[in-house]
Structure 1
Amino acid sequence: MLAEKKRIIRTNYCGIRHSKRLPKLLSRRSGCAALLFFLLHQMATARPGDESIFLDDIPVILSASRLSQPINETPVAVTIIDRQMIKDSGAWDLSEVFRLVPGMYVAYHADPYFSADSTVAYHGMVTTTTSDRMQVLIDGRSVYASLFGGVNWSDLPIVLDDIERIEVIRGPDSASYGANSYSGVINIITRHPAETQGKTLSMAFGNGRKEAIFRYGGKTGALSYRLTASLREDQGEDDRIKRPTSVFTFWNLNKYDNKTIQNLNLRADYQVNSADTMEFQFGYNGGPREVGEYNNVSAISRQAENHFEMLHWRRALEGGGELSVQAFHTVERVYARLKDSDGVSDGDAILRRYDLEVQHTFSPFQNARLVWGGSVRYDQTYAPYYLGVGDNQYLYGDFPYHLRRFFGNLEWRARPDLIFNVGGMIENNTYTGTDTTPRFAVNWHVQPGHTLRLSHSRATRSPSVYEKVYDSYWRSANLYPGLPEMQTERVKSTELGYLGKYGKLDMDFRLFYDDYSQLIDVRNKRSAANGNLNAGTAVMRGYELQLKAQLTDKTRLIYGLSGGGVKSNNVNGVVYSDSLPKYSHSLMLSHKANDQWSGSLVAYQVAQTKFNATDYNPIENRGYYIDGNRRVDGRINYQFKVGGRSAECSLIAQNLADARYFEYRHDNELPGRALRLNFKLDL
């Protein structure tokens, strides 16, 4: 099992030059129809061989369809971020590693209102900092927040060194993971305790940052376990903006975003017998957190306390099948005193989640595999300050949310070179009723090392608790009682992808066409007054390219590129147009000089970006776009022995050129050059 797991994580992917003509290709429907006809004709006349010739040294994906599949047979595009890639990136926050994913937009500490956390959004479409259109999982456990949607990255009970790999599904995947897997899915997979035996101490010191991590891994008979404890202090952004766009004080000051993060994480795996395994996880994250901004809502005091418990049972079945049951419980707490224009308010919030999922994988007939199952979830949200809208006292209580899901995906190898994936999910929730999200994909191995993928899927996003409360508020008797009840957001997504191997170069290229409808807007009175909170529409066309090149045995190059555009009716003044950068690049070059010295250089470039319509004010020098930016990070690592024990020391420099630029809006300035020293010792 461990040998297979190590084989799974050996590779990752990235991209190349862009062309302005590429995003237009999928808009030509007649051209697509002709291409589809050509592909089907070629499939019908090709001469297949043994499937093993198409799968040599191909990494395996666990998340795309809930089936374990080679990356060139998944129904959606996937980026793998492995352990070495995380290490070479020099990332401080977990959110930072996603800058390496084509099509991903990351803004450092963009949220000033609830968590002072980073925004991680796939394919733009960001109207709020919470980035609520992407599902995030840790070992299959959803950490998508119920209050505003999205993820509070600093509140996750996990440290970077405990991550085995991250699988990023680039595109809608509601067929596998339901509503809120609307634009993509991130699945963070932690290391097995058997791979983290012994004691390890890690320490980091740098500009406004310091951290200590202790990890202990042990084994007793068939039980292996790992305990990780960490303490982090992070001073966040500079207090003052170095290059403000306005003379007004508000636009000269950064947010309050200092953090102290205490983490405790336990994972234990028990091999009951030859067929059954039990996995238990517990995690805690807590500590004081600043939030807010000058002359606006800010915290006099704020304390986070989050924990989860998860139990996962698996049974291996004959013929390669598996039966699994997973249950978890999560509690997210915030104790806060908030200062705003009305004085001091109680900002406490409690979010609870209970989830139970059953999944069965088997082969229903020759050359086919089927995964199917279902889950139930119960969420309860208490946040009077954030959910108290108007004078409606009902809005001050706990908000229950029930979710029931049934899913399935059939993989059928019609021929050794031709694979079909057909799947979908039926989902029922308290807020919007029942939805069905199907997907169809075909992968054709044209030749060994060259695969074409054509897929079409539909996905949804359910309203957050905050949006549902506003929906009830606008439809109250004294406002707009005839307003239709809010529905789910919807997207129809079509993709044409290519995966190829050229010697030491791996390539992953895709064209996509996403048609969004029923986009939700509850904050704008115009939407309620005009009688539709689901009036927004948008069409997104674009391309993505990932390249991985093993230049030598010691040198690796990883490159990513994405680009495209968004067109929208921008109804009621909610702007979606241009909310996708025209292009973005990422480049990582890593080299191992010898057994002791290694290093990496990482560069990012993002074109001008438009996200926040309320930010526009030409009189104060805030234009329609946030200017494009470039950034370079570097890392030097030295491995050595201390008393016969393995040790390593790393010097990491983020934003080497001390570039001062804005992300998301004109008062969110990235910190300048940040140096830190990391030290790690096996005890």
Structure 2
Amino acid sequence: MNDFKIPTRRSAAPRQLADKALAARKRAGKRLAGLLAFLSMALVSGSALADARTEARRHFKAGMQLVQGHRYAEGIAELERANEILPHPNVVFNIARAHAEAGDLEPAIARYKEYIASDPPDQLEVELVLAQLEDRLAAQRVAETKPAPAPVPLPPKEGETPRGPQEIKPAEVQKPKAPAPGAESIVGEARTEDVYEETVVTASRGKQSPLDAPNSTTIVTRQDIRLSGITRIPELLRRVAGMDVMQITGGDTNVSMRGFNSRLANKLLVLVNGRSVYNDILGSTFWELLSIDVDQIERIEIIRGPGSALYGANAFAGVINIIPIAPGEGKSGFRVGYGDQQQGYGSVWASGREGDFAYRVSAGYTRYPKWSREVEGGRRDLVFAPANEFTASESQRLDIRTSRRWGKDISLEIGGGYANNKLDVYGIGAFNEYNFDAANGDVTVDLKTKHFNARTYFTRLAGTGQASHDYTSHSLYTSHPSQNVFNAEAEVVGGFGGTISHDIHFGLGYRLKDLNWDYFRPDVPVEHHASVFLQDSIRFGKQLTFVGSGRLDYVPYLKKIVPSPRASFIYKPTERQAFRLVGASAFRSPSGLESYIGLPIVLVTPGAGQYTGGGREDGSRLQPEQIVSAEIGYLNQMNDSFEFDITGYYERVTNLIALQTNRNVSLSDRGAGLGGYDPNLGRYTVAYGGFTNQCDTHNVAGGEIGARVYPRDGLDIFANYALNVSVQDKPSSCPIPDDERTSRHKINAGVQVRTKMGFNGELTWHYQSKQVWNEQVATLDGIVYKQFDVPGYMLLNGRLGYRFYHDKIEVSGTVYNLLGDALGDPLQMHPFGNRIGRRFMAFFTYTL
């Protein structure tokens, strides 16, 4: 589907359709062959570069070992190569230190000045080192002005012809060189920390290796983001094992993990640098309402498995933490893109540092078209919302973050962001296609010290929403949702011990929620949430670690405290491999919509209406969704060119929240004053609806296996496979049909290439097996379950780029769903969703 098309009642002849499909397959085959040819040529050229972090890490480790063995020239060359691939101040420091230790004062002084220019936290200490080296160099130059004594010829060995002094060449045989006298006392210790080692902060709320994390983790790196060419954050997550990514419209993408994806997906907690972007009104994430775009992201950390033990409600199936590029890091620049169907992308950013103060400012724009229209235009039996009928999402955004540090251990970050978005989404029940015109903003203050951390932020979401179309006798249900959230949390970090050591995190949290919507009943309270958590990582020697975590959350709607425990055992037979056993529970509290809805709905039957309310009209409350999980995993990072991860898990899921079957008004209801004429609708209330906890229990078993390898410089390959098997336990009175809305098999694979000539690219392939969706749909008889088959599909994405002008300029092209309809009908990820065609965008990037 290359073009935006409006369905018509006319159909092409079978022969014409066959010819069209054959031509589409040939075109897709040529595009794929061309892309594969480029990747092949780049690989055989011998000038390609492997994954930047991995290659830099390899050179860094080799360089540090050589310097420690006093082989300075070779070690400095390795460190220089590492810094060329991925610049880092600590590498520059080690290069300067190695020069000084070798007695090469001029290059040492030059490199120390380069290090100081990066405004490091230890600037004063290094300036003292620099002053001492400059004094030594000055004394050395004075000594060099004095006449040198004449060289004395060495006595010849027996049978050897005497040589003159001009023939003596001490460097003929290179051997380890002794450090310059007194150098170590001046330059101090080397920075032996592996600055290129992959680390995560989300699993334990502190920086650590994935090998030490108490949950299975995956990182989408900055290189993955750049080489993919993807501009939608949810699509970047598709490469993660076990992730469910479902695109419904051009702007509506729903994400879950290990199953239970849905419209308005609500099983994952999404953070931006630790700050929740959870939509409390609907219980979902509006990805297009984030104030940052992909060009501002340093990495994305994905925690697979329940995360409520540290993050509370809504970290049900896992946690996604989007880590932006820090203030002062990176270069300034811009990127613009344009594609077919008037796709648009623009991003501009500026980053700088002045002493201990740093800043980063970014602004951007995106526009995504619809894949198709729900109904034909011009119908007289329908009324349409005023939204642009060809636009699925259009957003403008601004983000400003600043930081100030005091010494090595104290930093304060203050900033805020704003995004305005027109968004086409799929709701639930009677609301299929729904239009939002919303604005979202935050103000955040984040303090970090060695033993105490505190964060507070205020967010506001407000806008207008309405159904995109409905029958002329019905309402579009225009409304004005708003959400004001104030969050504050404080954390104390400490540790003690020797052979048995403890790393303790203790924290308190408070969250105020003020929700308003025309769809809510009038007595919605301002909610005051509170939480406390404790985690202790107990290390027994170098091989065994036990991590115990627990959190208590007070949920006002439930009027009770909900506990969330987690226990992890980590066994490391060697430094670079780990076995992990995890048991945890988590919960999702009812969203504002599920808790407080009070909406009269017009039915097709003349004069009839339905009232949809939170809980039931008898006053009973929804219970939180619950998950109990057990997981075993193994991670191997023993080789810098190879990484392997395998995980198996079991989950027991209960109390899933869904729309309840309509209940007709009875005579006893009328006697109790329920039902009757509704003056707001001008109709009679004949039924009640709302949300309820489902009566079934899901037992889910599955596993994920993945690897990332670098068989040679220039080739970076990743692949993973996920298996998910779900079985429902239902009492005889439970009317819910079997649910197979999670693909049993998912496969992801990709290849990345970077060359010294400036060419770079990525090709990724995704496969999901068939699904059977249970969807609740509105009929003349009320809300009923219907099953829909969704065939399996393959998705192929690719990008080619070329960097030049000292790597300051890059031109690139990205194609999404390269095969399009070459293999048959355009793919569909949800039974009500658009059919997804091919999209192409071209980009121009400039960095200062």
Short-chain TM bin: 0.7 to 0.9
Aligned equivalents of 1:517, 1:682: Cα separation in 2: 50
Change (3 A) 1:240 1:207: farther
> Which of 706, 709, 713 lines up with 1:546 in the alignment?
706
Offset of 1:532 from its aligned partner?
6.7
TM alignment of 1:260-409, pairs within 5 A: 260-290=394-424, 302-316=436-450, 322-336=451-465, 338=467, 340-341=470-471, 342-366=474-498, 367-385=501-519, 387=520, 395-396=521-522, 398-409=524-535
Local SS of the residue matching 1:192: coil
Residue equivalent to 1:676: 841
* Separation of aligned partners in 2, 1:512 and 1:442: 15
Q: Please state if 1:569 is matched with 2:703.
A: no
Q: Work out whether 1:204 is the aligned partner of 2:369.
A: no
Q: 1:522 to 1:344 in 2, by over 3 A?
A: closer
Within 2, Cα distance between the matches of 1:453 and 1:351? 40
Amino acid at match of 1:379: K
Change (3 A) 1:202 1:333: same
Cα separation, 2, equivalents of 1:275 and 1:600: 39
Query: For 2:460, what is the secondary structure of its paired residue?
Result: strand
Residues 70-109 of structure 1 mapped to structure 2, 5 A cutoff: 70-109=209-248
Q: How far, CA to CA, are the matches of 1:307 and 1:421 in structure 2?
A: 36
Change (3 A) 1:361 1:526: farther
Cα deviations by residue, 1:104-161 (Å, 9 ceiling, x for unpaired): 11111359xxxx62111112213x4111111110000001110111201111111101
Q: Aligned equivalents of 2:305 and 2:740: distance in 1?
A: 19
What CA distance in whole angstroms lies between the structure 2 residues aligned with 1:562 and 1:299?
31
Distance 1:581 1:185 in 2: 21
CA distance in 1 between counterparts of 2:518 and 2:411 reads 42
| Corresponding residue number in structure 2 for 1:524 | 661
> Whose Rg is larger?
2
Which amino acid is 1:107 matched to?
A: M
1:426 aligned to which of 544, 552, 557: 552
Does 2:272 correspond to 1:124?
no
**Cα gap change, 1:303/1:564 in structure 2, threshold over 3 Å: closer, same or farther?**
closer
Tell me which of 592, 609, 615 is aligned to 2:754. Answer: 592
Query: Cα offset for 1:181?
Result: 0.6
Structure 1 pair 525–100 and aligned structure 2 pair: CA distance change class (3 A): same
* Closer/same/farther in 2, CA of residues 79 and 645 from structure 1, 3 Å limit: closer
Give the SS at the match of 2:819: coil
Rounded to whole Å, the distance in 2 between the matches of 1:123 and 1:479 is 28
Partner of 1:65: 204
Name the amino acid aligned to 1:536.
D
Equivalences for 1:423-462 in 2 at 5 Å?
Answer: 423-432=549-558, 433-462=560-589
> Counterpart amino acid of 1:549?
V
Q: Is the 8 A contact 1:283 1:307 kept in 2?
A: yes
- Asked if 1:578 is matched to 2:714, the reply is no
TM-score by length of 1: 0.81
Cα contact 2:258–2:724 (8 A) shared by 1: no
1:45 matched residue in structure 2: none
How far apart, in 2, do the equivalents of 1:554 and 1:325 lie? 43
SS of the equivalent of 1:158 reads coil
Alpha carbons 1:8, 1:59 under 8 Å: kept: no
Q: 1:410 to 1:298 in 2, by over 3 A?
A: closer
Q: Residue 446 of structure 1: CA displacement?
A: 2.4
Q: Which shifted more, 200-209 or 232-241?
A: 232-241
Kindly provide the CA deviation profile for residues 610-650 of structure 1, in whole angstroms up to 9, marking residues without a partner as x: 33434799xxxx96431000011111110011xx7711011
Deviation at 1:360, TM superposition (A): 1.2
In structure 2, how many angstroms separate the alpha carbons of the residues matched to 1:276 and 1:526?
59
Query: Offset of 1:68 from its aligned partner?
Result: 2.2
Distance 1:298 1:615 in 2: 9
- Superposed CA offset, 1:38-62 (max 9, x none): xxxxxxxxxxxxxxxxx99852221
Structure 2 counterpart SS, 1:611:
strand
What corresponds to 1:139 in structure 2?
273
Q: What does the per-residue CA deviation read over 1:322-374, in whole Å, with 9 as the maximum and x for residues that have no partner? A: 31110000001112455545234432111111000101111043321011101
| Aligned mate of 1:186, from 320, 339, 353 | 320
Residue 489, structure 1, aligned to residue 654, structure 2? no
Q: Which amino acid aligns with 1:325?
A: A
Residues 446, 666 of structure 1: CA spacing in aligned structure 2 closer, same or farther, 3 A cutoff?
Answer: same
Aligned residue for 1:346, secondary structure, equals: coil
- Say if 1:493 and 1:512, in contact at 8 Å, map to a contact too: yes
Q: Note if 1:512 corresponds to 2:649.
A: yes
Letter in 2 for 1:633: N
- Equivalent position SS for 1:86: helix
Determine the structure 2 residue equivalent to 1:222: 356
Question: What CA distance in whole angstroms lies between the structure 2 residues aligned with 1:173 and 1:533?
Answer: 22
Distance 1:477 1:207 in 2: 44
In structure 2, the CA distance between the partners of 1:677 and 1:174, relative to structure 1 (3 Å rule), is same
CA, structure 1 residues 584+661, in 2 after alignment: closer, same or farther (shift >3 Å)? farther
Q: Which has the higher contact order (CA 8 A, sep 6+)?
A: 1
In 1, the alpha carbon distance for the partners of 2:528 and 2:322 equals: 25
Q: Which residue does the alignment assign to 1:630? A: 794
What is the percentage of aligned positions where both structures have the same residue? 21
Structure 2 distance, partners of 1:375, 1:10, is 40
Instruction: Determine the C-alpha separation between the residues in 2 that align with 1:638 and 1:509.
Output: 35
Q: TM-score, normalised by structure 2?
A: 0.66
The verdict on how the C-alpha distance between 1:110 and 1:456 changes in structure 2, with shifts beyond 3 A counting, is farther
Q: Secondary structure in 2 aligned to 1:193? A: coil
Larger deviation, residues 229-238 vs 453-462: 229-238
Aligned to 1:463: 590
**Aligned partner letter, 2:798:** G
Does the Cα contact within 8 Å between 1:566 and 1:576 map onto a contact in 2?
no
Distance 1:87 1:399, change over 3 A: farther
| One-letter code aligned to 1:405 | S
Secondary structure, in 3 states, of the residue corresponding to 2:227? helix
RMSD over equivalenced CA pairs, Å: 3.5
Q: Is the 8 A contact 2:306 2:318 kept in 1?
A: yes
State the SS of the aligned residue for 1:343. coil
Three-state SS of the structure 2 residue aligned to 1:64 is coil
Q: Distance in 2 between matches of 1:214 and 1:57?
A: 27
Aligned letter for 1:568? Q
| Cα contact 2:707–2:720 (8 A) shared by 1 | yes
Amino acid at match of 2:229: G
AA in 2 matched with 1:120: V
Q: 1:8 to 1:531 in 2, by over 3 A?
A: same
Q: Which residue of 2 aligns with 1:19?
A: none
Which residue of 1 is the match for residue 539 of structure 2?
413
Q: Output the CA distance in 2 between the equivalents of 1:337 and 1:299.
A: 9
Unaligned runs of 5+ in 1: 1-5, 12-54, 243-248, 317-321, 388-394
Aligned counterparts of 1:495 and 1:255: Cα–Cα separation in 2: 46
Change (3 A) 1:547 1:131: same
8 Å Cα contact 1:439/1:457 also seen in 2: yes
Tell me which amino acid in the other structure corresponds to 2:651.
Answer: D
